[in-house]
A = this chain, B = another copy of it.
Amino acid sequence: MVIVMKLNASEEEITAINEELKRYGLEGHLIHGVNRIVIGAVGDREALLSQGLEMMPGVEKIVPIMRPYKLVSREAQEERTIVRIKAAAIGGSEVVVAAGPCAVESREQVELTAAQVKAAGAKLLRGGAYKPRTSPYSFQGMEEEGLKILADVGEKYGLVTVTEVVDLPSLDVAREYVDMVQIGARNMQNFRLLKAVGESGKPVLLKRGLSATIEEWLMAAEYVMAAGNAQIVLCERGIRTFEPTTRNTLDLSAVPIVKELSHLPVIVDPSHATGAARWVGAMSRAAVAAGADGLLIEVHPNPAKALSDGPQSLTPVAFARLTQEIRQVALAVGREFAGEGMLSR
């Protein structure tokens, strides 16, 4: 960290800072500027110290130098992480697509969707059983009954299953049924849940909070990894801005940035970001072109009758058309998409 002293900081105040640094095993380097003194001190423990130093007499401000995350950083691991779940490998050369309804509503609904998204090239089947809804008067999910359906259908069609967990009890149930758990945007800083998912060892899809900086998002991943679980896939799903046309603003620049800062794979959810099915295609193509390792897309056999998020869901037919476009873009940027699947059809 760099400690910027006030213009009129006294000798005693500077000495006091140096003493404090020494007590923590750091050495302070004085830099005499034109009209003020700054003190440099870099080390692993700088985060621990910075708050206290900020309040010492004569200090104007503290400028942090080190990034606060460690395990998830490229500096800790140069090699890219590939999260492998059954036949899916997220973070490798292939662009992997997860598709399915926002909420599990019935076995028929999930089967209809699964058969068609599988045929179109999806590797993962998504479906919510515990729904965080803004209104207490909205449909809240089928819970364990929904998970059973998801698990059965996933197995039948050879799809990796993923579902959102919202607290410790739902995690305990979900981990028995699905292949991967999802932490939703609203729970990105539910630190107890992050730790529990970390301890579970279950592969996890970690969505970015709707007002989380990229650094905070990586810190959330750090919670999971510090608890022993490196099977983390990050998911950009739009951030909150002043623009009212889209539900959120999809921050696609997060894709190359996360790949620069971290070894973890990153996918994109254009359905929640835009909030409207007619913009999902353009943003899916853009995400793949930006380097995303995969997509999370809402598909419903009858969007107008969906109990949750219908307006942003694609029909299976629209989804199949979209995967053709995704394949073209993936190839254009040196990636693959569901290559073997194509050969076998």
Interface string of A36-55 (1 = CB under 8 A from B): 10101111100100011011
Q: A311 contacts the other chain (Cβ, under 8 Å)?
A: yes
A257 engages B241 (CB within 8 Å): no
- CB neighbors of B among A267-288 (8 A): 273-274, 278-279, 281-283, 285-288
Residues of B contacting A132 in the complex (Cβ-Cβ under 8 angstroms): 189-191
Q: How far is the CA of A157 from the CA of B169 in the complex (A)?
A: 38
A289 interface neighbour in B186, B285, B311, Cβ under 8 Å: B285
Interface residue tally on A, bucketed by range: 35 or more
Binds B, one of A91-99, A109-117, A242-250: A242-250
Q: A290 contacts the other chain (Cβ, under 8 Å)?
A: yes
A240 engages B219 (CB within 8 Å): no
B253 engages A56 (CB within 8 Å): no
Report copies per complex.
Answer: 4
A245 interface neighbour in B36, B42, B213, B303, Cβ under 8 Å: B213
Q: A322 contacts the other chain (Cβ, under 8 Å)?
A: no
Since A4-B65, A241-B249, A253-B282 are in contact, a sample of 7 more A-B pairs with Cβ atoms closer than 8 Å, ordered by chain A residue number, is A2-B40, A51-B306, A136-B227, A211-B242, A242-B242, A256-B282, A257-B279
Point out residues on A near B: beta carbons under 8 Å.
Answer: 2, 4, 7, 29-34, 36, 38, 40-44, 47, 51-52, 54-56, 63, 65-66, 68, 75, 132-138, 140, 166-169, 186-187, 189-193, 195, 210-211, 213-216, 219, 222-223, 226-227, 239-246, 249-257, 260, 273-274, 278-279, 281-283, 285-291, 303-306, 309-311, 325, 328-329, 331-333
